[in-house]
């Protein structure tokens, strides 16, 4: 599995070998791709930047070596340049973002495992580049659950059932590490935009207790109290207020993986086939 990949881009001998000596596990092909992707970083004029880059590259090389070594030799295949090349090129911008870097590492490793390689899609590198660490955290929540609850709050007219004001949408609280509903709404919306998740309002989980925590959110209670006050004012002072009354409604929904999202998780987020998940 150490056949050297034909290199048209650059002469890998022109840069210091980052994997010195090249790993017998990952082979010369991946070693050459690493040198092409990162070799120039070792020529930074600033010694501080050069040493920092070298440290990051060595850590990445070590991690890839560990990951690939966990693949039984009979399942190990050479890296595919169209997958590994762009993934390595992108990784250099995410050395300090663990969640994102680890997705690239898993993508590269699984592309070299013939049990997983068929699932690896060329779009995965671009998808990872569009994700934030929070996106990665949220997506991982779906590893063992097909659907999670989501709601939107509407101030609905008591007189016209088709009239409402949208107070908040894509309210998602399943990630206990981040309860900022504005940040979560952006994250979930972005994961839907790139095709990993989909939201369905009108469909909901049958256990109503799952949705009860949404009714304890400050935005729900604050809005409900304000609407109640406006309705009272409308009754007492109809000549100076809008007579129309509103009540706060929450629309239950579910957020779930798409087929693309399911495959993406199995390739880029799940523990590697031969490695135990962290405790």
Q: Read off the pLDDT of residues 101-113 as tens digits, 9 standing for 90 and up.
A: 999 999 999 999 9
Q: What count of Cα atoms within 13 Å lies in the side-chain half-sphere of residue 142?
A: 27
Integer Cα distance of 65 and 183 in angstroms: 36
Q: Give the pLDDT of residue 20.
A: 46
In terms of C-beta density within 10 A (0-12 exposed, 13-18 middle, 19 or more buried), how is residue 103 classed? buried
Tell me the H-state helices in 112-155: 124-129, 133-140
Annotated domain spans of the chain: 12-129, 140-260
Query: Sheet containing 147-157: which strands, arranged edge to edge?
Result: 164-171, 147-157, 246-257, 197-201
pLDDT in tens, 170-212: 999 999 999 999 999 999 999 999 999 999 998 999 999 999 9
CB 171 within 8 A of CB 227: no
Q: For 151, phi and psi rounded to 5 degrees?
A: -140, 165
- Tokens 């690896």, residue? 120
pLDDT at 121 over 90: yes
Is the pTM of the predicted complex or chain greater than 0.85?
no
């Amino acid at each position: 599995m150490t056949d050297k990949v034909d290199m048209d881009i650059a002469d890998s001998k022109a840069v210091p070998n980052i994997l010195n000596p090249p790993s017998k596990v990952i082979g010369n092909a991946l070693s050459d791709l690493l040198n092409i992707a990162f070799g120039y970083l070792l020529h930074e004029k600033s010694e501080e930047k050069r040493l920092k880059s070298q440290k990051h590259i060595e850590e990445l090389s070590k991690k890839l070596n560990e990951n690939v070594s966990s693949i039984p030799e009979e399942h190990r295949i050479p890296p595919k340049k169209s997958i590994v090349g762009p993934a390595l090129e992108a990784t250099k911008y995410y050395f300090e973002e663990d969640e994102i870097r680890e997705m690239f590492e898993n993508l590269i490793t699984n592309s070299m495992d013939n049990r997983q390689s068929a699932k690896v899609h060329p779009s995965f590198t671009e998808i990872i580049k569009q994700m934030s660490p929070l996106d990665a955290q949220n997506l991982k929540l779906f590893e063992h659950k097909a659907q999670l609850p989501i709601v939107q709050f509407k101030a609905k007219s008591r007189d016209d059932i088709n009239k409402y004001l949208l107070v908040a949408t894509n309210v998602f609280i399943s990630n206990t590490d981040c309860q900022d509903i504005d940040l979560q709404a952006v994250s979930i919306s972005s994961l839907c935009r790139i095709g990993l998740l989909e939201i369905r309002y009108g469909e909901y989980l049958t256990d109503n207790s799952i949705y009860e925590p949404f009714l304890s959110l400050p935005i729900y209670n604050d809005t409900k109290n304000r609407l109640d006050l406006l309705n009272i004012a409308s009754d007492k002072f109809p000549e100076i207020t809008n007579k129309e009354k509103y009540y706060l409604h929450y629309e239950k929904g579910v957020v779930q993986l798409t087929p693309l999202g399911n495959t993406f998780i199995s390739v880029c987020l799940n523990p590697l086939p031969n490695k135990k998940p962290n405790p």
